[in-house]
Amino acid sequence: AVQGVIFDLDGVLTDTAEDHYHAWQALADQYGYAFDRAANDRLKGVDRAGSLRLILDGAGASVDDARFEAMLAEKNALYRARLTAYSPANLFDGVRALFAALRGAGIKIGLASASRNAGDVVRLLGIADQFDFIADAGAIAANKPAPDIFLACADGMGLPPERCIGIEDAQAGISAIHAAGMVAIGIGSEEALPDADVHVPAIGALSVDQILSAEREAAS
């Protein structure tokens, strides 16, 4: 049976994507790079440096290493300035109830976000103490779609990966979950996440029973 559920952060527990968008847009405007919401959608689940590489590629621009690092720092400062407005009100509906139900069922809770700010975000959301383990994105060699962060999270919870289920809103994240040997629950439509084993429109629509039956279905 399932012994652990590993959550992505952005798009699963809260909408940090909107704040990443505004930070990247401000940076792109400052340097005169074309950027919009559609371009931002392609950055979901992609780490900070990977995102900047995609933006530069899209603009046909190239910068030296020092400028690249400075731009990363600048984007992060813009993003963190937006995080100061975060509170438990930013937590998606149903997360607290789902976490309580998982705990009641003896199932561990993990976090596998590509964000180096994930620890601060869950503190601001008021749920930091709910996790058995929070994987450190800064200590992971290969980002999603590589399985590393989900494997590190299972390991940190003291569980074998095949006893864990992953929950993601981005295709790269679903691939990472599968590469880790876990069943994948997708937050979003079947069109958006064709590889997910189970789909729910939002985290608030997900029950512990559905999580348990997702594993049984995938195993049969």
Closer residue to ligand G16 (CB): 117 or 171: 117
Q: How far apart are CA 155 and CA 206, in angstroms?
A: 25
Residue 39 binding target from ligand G16, Mg ion, none, CB below 5 to 8 Å by type: none
Binding flag, residue 44, ligand G16 (CB under 6 A): yes
End-to-end CA distance of the chain: 13
* 136 marked as binding residue: no
* Residue in 168, 131, 199 with CA at minimum distance from that of residue 46: 168
**Within 182-211, which residues bind Mg ion (CB under 5 A)?**
none
Q: How far apart are CA 10 and CA 7, in angstroms?
A: 9
Which positions from 20 to 59 touch Mg ion by CB under 5 A, shown as an x/- string? -------------------------x--------------
**Do 185 and 200 contact (CB within 8 A), yes or no?**
yes
Residue choice 47, 132, 148, 197 for contact with ligand G16 (CB under 6 A): 47
Region from 38-46, 154-162, 182-190, 194-202 binding ligand G16, contact rule CB under 6 A: 38-46
**Within 52-81, which residues bind ligand G16 (CB under 6 A)?**
76
Nearest distance from C-beta of residue 145 to ligand G16, angstroms: 11
Closer residue to ligand G16 (CB): 113 or 171: 113
Helix, strand, or coil here: 161?
helix
Residues catalogued as catalytic: 8, 10
The first and second tokens of residue 153, run together, are 């999270």
Nearest distance from C-beta of residue 93 to ligand G16, angstroms: 18
Nearest distance from C-beta of residue 187 to Mg ion, angstroms: 8
**Do 167 and 6 contact (CB within 8 A), yes or no?**
yes
Give me the helices (H) in the chain, please: 16-31, 37-41, 48-59, 65-83, 95-104, 118-125, 148-156, 171-179, 208-219
The first and second tokens of residue 55, run together, are 């933006």
Q: From the annotation, which residues make up the binding site?
A: 8-10, 24, 43-48, 51, 75, 113-117, 144, 168-169
Q: Residues interacting with Mg ion, by CB under 5 A?
A: 8, 10-11, 45, 169-170
